[in-house]
């Protein structure tokens, strides 16, 4: 099988851009200064998730049936913090230490959200700004996001019933700058760390999630308005109360 070569660490023969002294790419994708931001509940004020780790692990499973009740903004804040929360800016503000690991602390991921039912937040498309711990409003004028994400994901109807859809993209150069041709495995492993944290966090707040990797690549990239080259959709998960 030809793909098996990607499971192996290559022998790096060329200098990476870090070795060449090129500037490190930004931690997160820039956004307009006049963008509409939504405050989230800051981590120190979140009072959720106080169950034992062994119980959270034991309860971890995929759920495809959800109640119609919404998530609270505190619950959404908790899920975002546990999956991509920034604990500290490090190395002069060039990298972040987060609630999940990433090779070289590069964290090349962006989190997009299709919000259908969250108290105090209008339905629409958002991006999580992990450094600021805020939501960036992208599109709240499109009422068809639930049906569109179903179509993108091979018409799996249960996806349209979720309260929130998490979509993780990567900006590959953030990792390539440091690791060159050795970036692929690290990027794919890292997004798995993120999703597992989501599973455990959901089990701690009586919510369910289901990871989804069956989707049309171009349609998903287009749905969240990314180019599919310098930023690529990788993985998504749906969340709802159970």
pLDDT tens-place string over residues 160-210: 999 999 999 999 999 999 999 889 999 999 999 999 999 999 999 999 999
pLDDT of residue 10: 75
Helix, strand, coil % over all residues of the chain, rounded to 5: 35, 25, 45
| 43 within a domain of the structure (yes/no) | yes
Q: Mean pLDDT, the chain, as a whole number? A: 95
| 3 within a domain of the structure (yes/no) | no
| 116 within a domain of the structure (yes/no) | yes
Number of domains in the chain: 1
Query: Domain span at residue 234?
Result: 36-241
Closest CA to 159 of 169, 151, 150, 168: 150
| 24 within a domain of the structure (yes/no) | no
pLDDT of residue 163: 97
| 193 within a domain of the structure (yes/no) | yes
Instruction: Give the model confidence (pLDDT) of 32-75 as tens digits.
Output: 999 999 999 999 999 998 899 999 999 999 999 999 999 999 99
| 12 within a domain of the structure (yes/no) | no
Confidence (pTM): 0.96
| 7 within a domain of the structure (yes/no) | no
Instruction: For residues 230 and 21, give the distance between their C-alpha atoms in angstroms, rounded to a whole number.
Output: 21
CATH no. for residue 159?
A: 3.40.109.10
| 103 within a domain of the structure (yes/no) | yes
Instruction: For residues 9 and 26, give the distance between their C-alpha atoms in angstroms, rounded to a whole number.
Output: 26
Of residues 134 and 56, more confidently modeled: 134
Compute φ and ψ for 12, nearest 5 degrees: -75, 115
pLDDT of residue 2: 80
């Amino acid at each position: 099988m030809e793909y098996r070569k990607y499971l192996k660490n290559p022998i790096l023969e060329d200098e990476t851009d870090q070795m060449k002294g090129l500037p490190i790419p930004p931690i997160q994708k820039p956004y307009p200064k006049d963008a509409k931001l939504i405050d989230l509940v800051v981590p120190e004020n979140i009072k959720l998730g106080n169950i034992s780790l062994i119980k959270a692990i034991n309860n971890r499973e995929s759920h495809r049936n959800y109640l119609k009740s919404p998530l609270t903004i505190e619950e959404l804040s908790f899920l975002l913090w546990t999956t991509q929360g920034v604990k500290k800016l490090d190395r002069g503000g060039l990298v972040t230490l987060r609630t999940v690991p990433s090779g070289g602390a590069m964290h090349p991921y962006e989190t997009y959200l299709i919000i259908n039912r969250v108290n105090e937040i209008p339905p629409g498309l958002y991006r999580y700004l992990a450094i600021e711990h805020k939501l960036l409003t992208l599109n709240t004028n499109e009422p068809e996001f639930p049906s569109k994400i179903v179509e993108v994901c091979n018409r799996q109807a249960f996806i349209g019933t979720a309260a929130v859809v998490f979509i993780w993209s990567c900006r590959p150069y953030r990792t390539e700058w440091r690791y060159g041709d050795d970036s692929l495995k690290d990027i794919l492993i890292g997004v798995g760390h993120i999703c597992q944290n989501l599973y455990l966090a959901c089990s701690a707040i009586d919510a369910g999630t289901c990871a989804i990797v069956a989707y049309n690549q171009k349609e998903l990239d287009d749905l969240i308005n990314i180019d599919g080259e310098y930023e690529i959709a990788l993985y998504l998960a749906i969340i709802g109360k159970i």
